[in-house]
Structure 1
Amino acid sequence: MLEYPICEICLKTGILCSGCEEKLAKGEITRLEVELATILYRLEKKHKTLSEINRVKTLEENDLVVLITEEGKAGVLIGKGGKIAKIISKKLKRKIRVVEDTKDYRRIAQDLLAPARVIGVNIVYPPNESSKFKVLVAKQDITKLPASITTLERLLAKLLGKEVVVAPI
């Protein structure tokens, strides 16, 4: 069953109680997480497979929202034919990408940058700097990226924990 960042009463009513309002004010949860929780709560009634997911974290950058779920559960959150993902995207009024919480850097990059093809993920060691990732994308697929390169670099940096450069090859 999905673990929500707000209480069930708030999920049912759509109005935050004082406890959940306090979490939001302290920055423990974001407005986006509250929105997503209410959407998923309503969807879980129609799409029983969503109960297989335990937790969904979010990242946002400009008009792109990344939903991070546990390994092996991305398909459940996307839904058959992308149905659930399309509903979430429509209700949030933003593009979404679903990424699994994994240590496989290439897979994270592929999930985020799809439908563009990721050729490789390299670790670069520039002099006098800490290491960073260089994500190589097929040159002809640059136009297929779901957002600007800068936005994607920032999101990948948050996901991978290091500076990231997205480069066409």
Structure 2
Amino acid sequence: MKIPLDYLCVKSGLLCNRCQSLVDRGEVENFEIKVMEALLDLEESQFKELKESTYYKAIKVNNNLLILLVGSGPGMTIQKWVKVAKALQDKLGMKVRIMEKTNNIKSSAVQLLSPARVLGVNTVWLPDGSVQYVIRVSRNETRLLPADTLVLESALSKIHDTRVKIRVE
């Protein structure tokens, strides 16, 4: 798996100057080092297919962990990603969801809110010139949401660096 830090630094726990500067600038959080180490361990032991994947970022919201990847390698099916998430869940002791990093807010919402269906995404232009996205979900499918709506809103807001609301209709 391709990661932003050096393999040796992640494996040993001692960071070189370059890796330490990435952590100091906030480009990589401290908890992400443990996530990268767990992913590398899984790649070596169980999931050889992770070699072709690229780690982008991990986002922690309450006791949930979202792992954003850019491009998954050949041979990585949805079922395999679910198995990787389960293995990470056991290693890290928190709920894990793996998503593909996209700039499209609707595709991110579909991945995050699955198995609930997204009815649509509305763009709201606020008086101060900023943008807020409203993701619409059917009332019948709220029980299918993987977490509380506030947690999901927070996660989507962190992923896209903009305000996101989830509206149940």
TM-score normalized with structure 2 length: 0.82
The aligned residue for residue 39 of structure 1 is: 38
The aligned residue for residue 62 of structure 2 is: 62
Change (3 A) 1:44 1:72: closer
> CA separation in 2, counterparts of 1:8 and 1:164?
35
1:30 and 2:29 correspond: yes
> CA separation in 2, counterparts of 1:77 and 1:89?
18
Q: Shift of the alpha carbon at 1:143?
A: 2.3
Q: Shift of the alpha carbon at 1:89?
A: 1.6
The aligned residue for residue 114 of structure 2 is: 114
SS of residue paired to 1:91: helix
SS of residue paired to 1:55: strand
RMSD (CA atoms): 2.5
Does the CA contact (< 8 Å) of 1:50 and 1:77 recur in 2?
no
The letter of the residue matching 2:120 is G
The aligned residue for residue 133 of structure 1 is: 133
SS of residue paired to 1:4: coil
The letter of the residue matching 1:35 is K
Q: Shift of the alpha carbon at 1:151?
A: 1.6
Structure 2 gaps, min length 5: none
Does the CA contact (< 8 Å) of 2:122 and 2:133 recur in 1?
yes
> CA separation in 2, counterparts of 1:133 and 1:105?
8
Q: Shift of the alpha carbon at 1:8?
A: 2.9
> CA separation in 2, counterparts of 1:9 and 1:128?
46
Aligned residues: 166
The aligned residue for residue 158 of structure 1 is: 158
TM-score normalized with structure 1 length: 0.82
> CA separation in 2, counterparts of 1:40 and 1:79?
17
Q: Shift of the alpha carbon at 1:136?
A: 0.4
